[in-house]
Amino acid sequence: MLLHPQFRKLYTAQVVALVGTGLLTVALGLLAYNLAGADAGAVLGTALAIKMIAYVAVAPIISALAHRLPRRVVLVSADVVRASIALLLPFVTQTWEIYVLIALLQSASATFTPAFQSLIPAILDDEEDYTRGLSLSRMAYDGEALVSPILAAALLTVISFNLLFVGTAAGFVASALLVVTTRLPQLPIPERAAPLWHRITEGARFMAERPVLRSLLAMNMVVAAPTALVIVNTVVYVRDRLGGSNTEVALALACFGFGSMIVALVAPRLLRILPDRRVMLTGCVVLPIGLLVAAVVPELGSAPGGALLAVSWAGLGAGTSLINTPSARLLRAQTEPAARPAVFTAQFSLSHACFLVTYPIAGRLGVLAGLPTTAVALAALATLAGAMAARMWPASVPSGIETAVSAGR
């Protein structure tokens, strides 16, 4: 797939931007701990809830307003804004400043990501090529979750964590330069513009009408539960409960990325022999189990607790990848090209809406009731959402991918 010139450049842009974002994740957690100490989980939970509000509110509105703009303008503008905000974060001294800057930065990300994702089906026409491209894209996310914390851990031995934000800005600038030099496909544009509210809600209405995509919406909540625990409370698990260091925070996050990356690596072969529904519902089973294991970690000592945390985080990463990797295949198979930007935007927005529920649970409940209770509560939420997903997508309803593959042949 990397021999395809357009995909190779866009994929490289994705990778370098994700490395920068990974450094941001580590630096933001340490900044919150520096400002709030043991209450860092609550600060991160609030900051990430603001991020999700930006994703949910901004993505469909910008997509509707910018549907006639060239994709290159949308992507590069978003990268420039993200780089500028990242350079301001080292100067933060109050928690409210974190909240304001994260809202601005993530509004730009909410503009960039759906526009980027909707281009890939237009570049990779063949279904198997698209599946391999999705696998590489998922591996980029997972590689970021694995490599960025390790890179951050190495950098933290010689620099202050505030300088990690400079690496974040550099990633966004490199992404913008790669997009500028890539020949992008022209996506279909409706001849007559529908009313603004109709365009904003088009993708969500499209997904609500199809059983497969309704099930995907429920699976988004299954993914959001463990991801919130990992993102919000890893620093609390390692620093406050297990007595670890900043470097060990980064390594714990890398375990989550490692588990996800292994699944993404085998996904193309797995999806050739198993239906998407079975693979994704397996993830819905794995994730609640992993959360229950995470509930035990704070009760153990430093060494056994650290080992179990690494295993649990790797399992949670694998479970999320079992759901996330095939999801874009479902979106492509269930849509026509003209509808894809709206549907990809709706999936981006609605999947992140789930974090408006799980981030506050992970942050506030973690402070008020402790990590074990928080992990059990998130496990219960993931179990309920997984049962709903299985019910919404009966085994007799095809994913639509079978038809697409047959047509390609």
Q: Is residue 191 part of a domain?
A: no
The 8-class DSSP code of residue 236 comes to I
Q: Is residue 323 part of a domain?
A: yes
Q: How many CB atoms lie within 10 A of CB 181?
A: 8
Q: What is the pLDDT of residue 229?
A: 93
Q: Into how many domains does the chain fold?
A: 1
Q: What residues make up the domain containing 268?
A: 5-180+199-408
E strand or H helix that includes residue 97: helix 95-123
Residue 405 has pLDDT above 50, yes or no: no
Q: Is residue 352 part of a domain?
A: yes
Q: Is residue 272 part of a domain?
A: yes
Residue 107 has pLDDT above 50, yes or no: yes
Residue 100 has pLDDT above 70, yes or no: yes
Q: Is residue 387 part of a domain?
A: yes
Lowest mean pLDDT among 3-17, 139-153, 156-170, 209-223: 139-153
Per-residue pLDDT reduced to its tens digit, 25-53? 777 777 777 777 767 767 776 776 777 78
Residue 171 has pLDDT above 70, yes or no: yes
Q: Is residue 365 part of a domain?
A: yes
Distance CA 181, CA 44 (A): 36
Residue 105 has pLDDT above 70, yes or no: yes
Lowest mean pLDDT among 69-78, 140-149, 155-164, 385-394: 140-149
CATH for 21 = 1.20.1250.20
Residue 150 has pLDDT above 90, yes or no: no
Residues in the chain: 409
- For the segment 15-23, the average pLDDT, to the nearest whole number, is 80
Q: What is the pLDDT of residue 49?
A: 72
Distance CA 251, CA 152 (A): 9
Using CA atoms of 114, 261, 265, 399 in order, give the dihedral in degrees to the nearest 10.
Answer: -50
Q: Is residue 355 part of a domain?
A: yes
Band (408; pLDDT cuts 50, 70, 90): very low
Per-residue pLDDT reduced to its tens digit, 294-350? 999 877 767 788 889 999 999 999 999 999 988 888 888 887 776 777 787 788 788
Across the chain, mean pLDDT equals 81
Closest CA to 313 of 381, 242, 365: 242
Q: What is the pTM of this model?
A: 0.72
Lowest mean pLDDT among 153-167, 195-209, 280-294, 393-407: 393-407
Contact 24, 141 (CB under 8 A): no
Q: Is residue 51 part of a domain?
A: yes
E strand or H helix that includes residue 134: helix 127-156
Distance CA 377, CA 84 (A): 38
Contact 217, 205 (CB under 8 A): no
Q: Specify the amino acid at residue 233.
A: N
